[in-house]
Amino acid sequence: MTFAFDNTYARLPERFFARQAPVPVPQPRLIKLNEALAHQLGLDPEALRSPEGLAMLAGNQVPAGADPLAMAYAGHQFGGFVPRLGDGRAILLGEILDPRGERYDIQLKGSGRTPFSRGGDGRAWLGPVLREYLLSEAMHALGIPTTRSLAAVATGELVYREAGPLPGAVLTRVARGHVRVGTFEYFQARQDTDALRQLADYVLARHYPEARASDQPYRALLVAVVARQAELVARWLGVGFIHGVMNTDNMSITGETIDYGPCAFMDAYHPGQVYSSIDHGGRYAYGNQPQIAQWNLARLAQALLPLLDPDQDQAVAQAQAVIDGFAPGFEQAYLACFRAKLGLLEAQEGDADLIDGLLRAMAATGADFTNSFRALNAAAAGAEGPLRAQLGDGGPATAWISRWQARLAGETTSPQTRSAAMRRANPAVIPRNHQVEAALEAAVAGDLKPLDTLLQVLAQPWDAGPGGEEFQRPPAPHQVVQRTFCGT
């Protein structure tokens, strides 16, 4: 047996989902298999490569013990509420326990139409499937909570998008859970308090058992989700990541990065940077992500009001107090992240201003985000050249560097300890947009070597290694990617 399923979500009431088997595809072909993840989950890679394994990964065969379903949820999309979304092109096969007893969802994306497809074909095409595979694994290597990709399978059929016919594909996604803020909104919109309670109890039991033991478990649940999202967004900012479509249906209750659509990692730093082709107003720009996260979490708090207190005023007061706690929680996580990036291992007053000063200097010169912070490693050891190349050699840069060096000198941390810590905080390589697009273009054309090479480099983000210099270089002007697309 390849998967040993133990399905808890499928045991919830029928209104939580629609039972739906994956729709078979004509000619499945394995494109990528994540052997490291397979081993972590206690799965046999060779069994997954077998005809039976491939049939399961493609959706042509429902594995024994699976209970396939499409999850119901709603969501605020660019601020507007849609009361019924749901998995329109994804099927949750079920849940497995890894060798340590940790539970993971196994989901097929691009597996055909469901009752939530809203007229869509329920399929995905190869480019976005490989994009999610690449970016989610890069995020995992950076140590940031994320869903992951177990396999990408070509389907042997064409899907039709605005660009015309494109090769179809299915992604096997692994996550600690797929409950979203929008899942709670779905039942709130229906005034189904019983379902809200069942969903909250389910999330408490599966993901937040420590909150379940609280005297006020639903308030403790909200506190825990707020804390995880504050930490997650702070870590996104620390690597220059822009999610691109932070709708409430794309915010996981588990605190994992989910739904890699028009996301991107910044090259030149600017707090207003947007890549998503559908984010015309910059709602989900790099610097707006903390406020959007808090806004999304306020929607979760609204959904939970009936569970917080029978008195509406008391419930609102409790919810508001928790949501107000997002900002200080985020600030604490943000400062911890960026202090580490600057080599500041002892918290002091004025650190926030020092961090902001660097970012202002970077924005003024269009400095490369990743390479600027990596250059701090060398500057802390006395080699200022790479940092000055990013910030310029004028008075403001010199003043900031002097202030930073004086701040470092005031710590008792040894240079060796600081250097090691800074290397762990400042990656050498990220998935640069032009390199991602080039690798995906080659893969769609049948050449997987650039994709494989990029995956290997991104698996060790803290050290580019021999020959890795090309992956550290920002794009030339003609290589700059201005827009990214959902595309699935």
Positive or negative: CA dihedral 250, 141, 388, 436: negative
pLDDT digits (tens, 9 = 90+) for 394-409: 788 899 999 999 999 9
pLDDT at 413: 87
Out of 320-329, 349-358, 393-402, least confident range:
393-402
Residue 93: which of 71, 68, 112, 72 has the closest Cα? 68
Out of 90-104, 127-141, 276-290, 460-474, least confident range:
460-474
| Tokens, residue 361 | 């200097």
What ranges do the domains of the chain cover?
Answer: 9-175, 335-425
Task: Using alpha carbons, list the distances in angstroms from residue 28 to 22, 50, 227, 378.
Answer: 13, 12, 41, 49
Distance CA 436, CA 430 (A): 10
pLDDT at 488: 66
Beta bridge partners of 138: none
| Tokens, residue 319 | 């919810």
Out of 104-118, 141-155, 353-367, 394-408, least confident range:
394-408
Mean pLDDT of 311-327: 98
pLDDT digits (tens, 9 = 90+) for 284-296: 999 999 999 999 9
pLDDT at 2: 73
pLDDT at 340: 97
Distance CA 378, CA 355 (A): 18
Phi, psi of 169 (to 5 degrees): -160, 160
Helix (H, G, I), strand (E, B) or coil at 392: coil
* Confidence bin at 468 (pLDDT 50/70/90): confident
- The set of catalytic residues is 249
Q: How many CB atoms lie within 10 A of CB 178?
A: 21
Q: How many CB atoms lie within 10 A of CB 115?
A: 15
Residue 146: which of 241, 77, 38, 248 has the closest Cα? 241
Distance CA 380, CA 345 (A): 13
Helix (H, G, I), strand (E, B) or coil at 168: strand
